[in-house]
Chains A and B, each alone.
Chain A
Amino acid sequence: DTEVTQTPKHLVMGMTNKKSLKCEQHMGHRAMYWYKQKAKKPPELMFVYSYEKLSINESVPSRFSPECPNSSLLNLHLHALQPEDSALYLCASSQDGGRGLGTEAFFGQGTRLTVV
């Protein structure tokens, strides 16, 4: 199984809503990532979890809250988002969070988020 599965695929939420994005991988990867991608732009890193611990937070606003319940699951909790947060949110995993070939990333299909 070389898949990263993200749910939901599409999400429309109001600015006062609370929602969660979910990500799952069963490749035994120990590093998991959240990226945000705007149309026709490269992905931008938001968070990195390595061995279930948050190792990188790229100065992401607190209305985005990541959670790693176990080595296979990664969640992104959303609260009080703004319309400019509308984007494709991508989850990825890699063998490890170190250097070299172990950093090759496997991406999910993404969640297309629209904030209204």
Chain B
Amino acid sequence: TQLLEQSPQFLSIQEGENLTVYCNSSSVFSSLQWYRQEPGEGPVLLVTVVTGGEVKKLKRLTFQFGDARKDSSLHITAAQPGDTGLYLCAVANAGGTSYGKLTFGQGTILTVHP
């Protein structure tokens, strides 16, 4: 059983469409991070959400942390080809594990076609 269930695993859409990626768990987290990884690169941190119910916006990307701090979503408005990549949610020190450890969801591979 995955600590973080991320869905969908694959998403192929046309430029201009909207999409939402989900990251769910039965555990409560003090914070949750979202990363984007482009082909041939390492993951890049997009945002950290900390407060239950929190909404953060980064241009066309909107991130939400669930009220119970068990889940999060990433919504992209008017997707562009440059949004193509692997999107990962992650939590630190999850489940009482040793400090310094990031646990990732399975990832969502997004392809935006021109």
Contacts and interface: CB of A to CB of B under 8 A. Distances in A.
Interface of A: 4, 31, 33, 40-43, 45, 48, 50, 55-56, 90, 92, 94, 96-101, 103-110
Contacts of A50: 99-100
B106 interface: yes
Contacts of B104: 42-43
B68 interface: no
Interface string B68-106: 000000000000000000101000110000111110111
Interface string B38-67: 001111110010100000000000000000
B43 A98 contact: no
Given A55-B98, A98-B100, A103 B92 contact: yes
A108 B42 contact: yes
Contacts of B107: 40-42
A50 B100 CA distance: 8
Given A101-B31, A103-B92, A94 B100 contact: yes
B95 to A, nearest CB: 13
Contacts of A56: 98, 100-101
Interface of B: 30-31, 33, 35, 40-45, 48, 50, 86, 88, 92-93, 98-102, 104-107, 109
A101 B99 contact: no
Nearest to B50: A101
Contact of B100 (A43, A55, A101): A55
Contact of B48 (A42, A98, A104): A104
A96 B92 CA distance: 12
B56 to A, nearest CB: 13
A90 to B, nearest CB: 5
Contact of B42 (A41, A42, A48, A107): A107
